[in-house]
Chains A and B, each alone.
Chain A
Amino acid sequence: MAHDPQMLKGVLSLLLLSVLVDEPGYGYAIVTRLRDAGFEDLAEGTVYPALTRLESAGLLESYLERSASGPARKYYRTTDAGRAELATRTDAWRNLVTAVDTVTSTTTQGVSS
């Protein structure tokens, strides 16, 4: 099922910080990792600038690593500030999901009855 691009944009930073917290990754590999996780319609053109912004904000850090198949890859990993931000955003996301669930479950019951 395709995801709403606006909703996806809202949670993209959370997804990126989450994906890079345990295992560093480079641009295209991060895109494929997220696609494999169910975000099939995720565009590279959305992910690459988001990585740049998170790095500029100090939430990600990067390093270059040689690649056997082509030019050196730029790997990203979550910084300590990024981990703190991830915790905050995860809490905010869970609160939002709970609140939305509360409202929609009531509405759904009303619609189905």
Chain B
Amino acid sequence: MKRSRLITVVAAAALSVSLAACSSAVGTTPTAGASSSSKWNGTGKSASQLKFGTVVKSMGFNWFVRMETGVKQFGKDTGINAFEQGPSQPDPAQENQVAQDMLSQNLDALIIDPIEVSTAESVMKQATSQGVVVVALESPGVKNALYDVEPFDNAAYGRHMMDQLAKKMGDQGQYTIFVGALNSQSQIAWTNAAVAYQKQKYPKMSKVGDTNVTDSVQSKSYAEMKQMMQKYPNLKGMLGADSYDVVGAGQAVQDAGLSGKIAVIGTSIVSYAGDLLKSGAITQISTWDPAAHGMAGNKVAQFVLEGKKIATGTNLGVPGYNKVTVTGKTVQGTGWVDITKANMSKYNF
């Protein structure tokens, strides 16, 4: 009893010290992308001597299986030993364990897509202290990584989606907006940007009704689209933010016999929207390719070890990351892909 309590006290003390160290380190760390590349294990090594590990949320999702193909492709292209691992279940503690196991294998770079950034900070800090280059994915505001690689800027994505919708609608007519939840920051950011952009660039188009909220439930998206068509018989377009939105709305359009007459466009993936895309009920979906995302993360690590500069305008040599935007630690691509009936077989995830 006494002993375990003693351990607790010691552990707590150690924790508070390390926390203090952490906060002071954050305070004094210079800006991201430290130029002194000499502190890395991998500096000066040839490609075949390098080992890059990518840790993902879980290997149980098609999404990360797809990312692995990009990581392997990176390895093939560069000669670097690049591999991907992740827990079978998306559990933050298990993900840290996977990263820790990797660190014991003489890693030169750790690319990590954390389930929970706050949980992953500790393992990222440990990696950095061991001389491993740490690059995070999908983690804006991350502290212990050199860079965070994001597929795109939400506002730019929203403008792009509106351009696509306008093209299919001939720059005119009524459209409606669907989102999964009003508190989904990214979905609201890009739909707001899309509507603002439409008002400015496509004055002959008009948003009808309020933004439809679907709670990411396909049957709600279906029912709401059916009603929108009843209420607005001249409806010509639908923009969906949640990956289930276009699936429900596309089926509603198909059931009404209006495939191809109403443009259904939004964020989704082929494994959800494939059949409706093929039948023409869904016009086009957009997503970002996890393969390219994983490749870009590895590429950033390679740039760091080669002492190359990463700044706004840099070409990472990965589709969608040919002209990145760098703000603080965040490296943003224009990494969305537009998927139609014609090219859907290429994006099998």
Say whether A associates with B.
no
Residues of chain B whose beta carbon lies under 8 Å from any beta carbon of chain A: none
